[in-house]
Chain A
Amino acid sequence: MKLGRLSLGLAAILALFPSLGGQAASAPSHDVLEREAALLDRLSAHRAQSADEFNLPSAAEKISKNPHVAQWYNWNNWRNNWFNNWRNY
């Protein structure tokens, strides 16, 4: 099952059981979940198409030959590299 479909189903289940981590009160509509699933599937297609480009962990070195930058990559912690990034301020 594709990631997008899987998460769509899981989110729907969790919305029924808030104590398991769902947030029924703020659950997205089915339409939003559909769009989210579609976006994830589109990302998945890109990942599958270019396994070499996104092959971990060599991608960091491949993308940038600058060691200062390559060292900074942390693919498992990417959200901290974005909205929580000191480079944003």
Chain B
Amino acid sequence: MVAPTSLLVLQPTPFCNLDCTYCYLPGRDSAARMSDETLERVAEVVFARGRLAPQITVVWHAGEPCVLPSDWYRRAFATLEARRPASVEVVHSFQTNATLLDAGWLDLFARSDVRVGVSLDGPQSLHDLHRRTRRGEGSFARVMRGVGQLRAAGIPFHVIAVLSLASLEDPEGLARFFIDEGLDQICLNVEEIDGINRESSLTEGVVETRFANFIKRFFREIETADPQPWVRELDFCRQAVCSPPTVGNPGNHQVDPLAILSVDVEGRVSTFSPELLGLPNREFANFLFGSLDRLRSPKDLLRNPTYERAATAIEAGRRACRQSCEYFRFCGGGAPANKLGEAGRLDAAETLFCRLTVKTLLTSYLAYREERYPDVSSLARNQGRVLTR
């Protein structure tokens, strides 16, 4: 199944001014910058000739996007806009460490209605454990200065916090930090074995038990707030209860060819998990399946034999998930980048990543609600068998 492209990840530069301990990106020392010609080719190949979803999100990432001047993006936005089909809406999104913001950035974000995500792991004691400058200093103060700038300019933003083992120790403290700081859109990532990051503190001990405990206590604290922040993980759980997916393949853009396109700074193109872009890998040629200077349309990627091998393995991984996992309909086949990072192969099924972010997350939420609302336990026992198994 070839899906219309709905997510376009562009790497304006691989460079990052920080040096976080768990970063998955290769090439963060390179100061290369995407050329005007490459941007023109993105517009030509993807926008003019690609099969696009009604709304496509352009994520400027795979490096710290704000190390380039904001004026560079004004030109880039105009280049893409010039080739945008009238029927397609384009939304620009930045995932940034927020340490380099200035008036030019705030103006760009506001004028272009950019979706902004800030990488912030929590209070200083947690954040500075991993998110450090190239001199090894914590970046918390500079990130919070950026948060203050966004807030003062009235620009909405979400926060992505990476959970490491230390984060699990004080769920209430972490939740209270976000609540007290008025951060109202929170996303919890986990420290992943992904890309060039080969270790995670979450592989130590009985992490699922600790993660489950964290989720229950974190959600409880969040639900005491008024108004409640939006938490991506809580939202997932509520929607799983409210509107569980029906029969069939639920779809997963990390597994569906061309649903996500990723373009590196040199104009080389990948698909599937964005973290695969340029990942050193001999078997799959660093997951670079084509170059914009030779592609006529994204569909040309599908004829690349290396792509075909990767796609076959990824599809086998999706089937393995379907065959073996009762949570399949909630994720649609997992994340190829995590399968490769953890198991060393794309056709694997379960990963630590999915055990934590899908399975433990959802069961912890249900357990939390069963503790909070005793009625639901008896109802569940009457309706099903799972609570007595």
Contact = CB atoms under 8 A, between A and B. Distances in A.
A25 B315 CA distance: 12
A66 B373 contact: no
B247 A32 contact: no
A19 interface: no
B245 to A, nearest CB: 7
A38 B386 contact: yes
Contacts of B103: none
Nearest to A11: B247
Interface in B340-389: 366, 369, 373, 375-376, 379-380, 382-387, 389
Contact of B57 (A56, A63, A86): A86
B327 A50 contact: no
Contacts of A41: 380, 383-386
Contacts of A21: 248
Given A26-B319, A50-B373, A64-B230, A38 B379 contact: no
B85 to A, nearest CB: 19
Interface stretch (B69-77, B165-173, B234-242): B234-242
A86 B384 contact: no
Contact of B241 (A25, A38, A47): A47
B274 interface: yes
B384 A89 contact: no
Contacts of A83: 252-254, 331-332, 335
Contact of A87 (B158, B239, B240, B332): B158
Decide if the interface of chain B is mainly helix, strand, loop or mixed. mixed
Nearest to B256: A84
Contacts of A23: 319, 322
Contacts of A44: 244, 383-384
Nearest to B159: A87
Contacts of A59: 238, 242
B270 to A, nearest CB: 13
Interface in B97-120: 115, 117
B184 interface: yes
A43 B241 contact: yes
A46 B216 CA distance: 16
B245 A79 contact: yes
Given A38-B385, A47-B242, A64 B380 contact: no
A75 to B, nearest CB: 5
A25 B319 CA distance: 9
Interface residues of A, number: 56
Contacts of A63: 228, 230, 238
Interface string B55-71: 00101010000000000
Interface string A35-67: 111111111111111100010100100011110
A72 B184 CA distance: 13
B354 to A, nearest CB: 10
A45 B326 contact: no
Contact of A79 (B93, B95, B332): B332
A50 B93 CA distance: 35
Contacts of B242: 47, 54, 56, 59, 75, 78
B205 interface: no
Contacts of A4: 384
Given A36-B326, A49-B373, A84 B259 contact: yes
Interface string B1-13: 0000011010000
A28 B323 contact: yes
A10 interface: yes
Contacts of B335: 83
A9 B106 CA distance: 54
A65 B230 CA distance: 10
A64 B243 contact: no
Contacts of B325: 28, 32
B263 to A, nearest CB: 13
10 contacts: A26-B322, A26-B323, A28-B328, A36-B326, A41-B383, A45-B383, A46-B380, A64-B184, A68-B156, A87-B187
Interface of B: 6-7, 9, 57, 59, 61, 91, 93, 95, 115, 117, 156, 158, 160, 184-185, 187, 226-230, 232, 235-236, 238-248, 250-254, 259, 274, 319, 322-329, 331-332, 335, 366, 369, 373, 375-376, 379-380, 382-387, 389
User: 8 closest pairs, A vs B, by CB?
Assistant: A41-B384, A45-B380, A78-B239, A38-B386, A26-B319, A35-B326, A65-B227, A36-B326
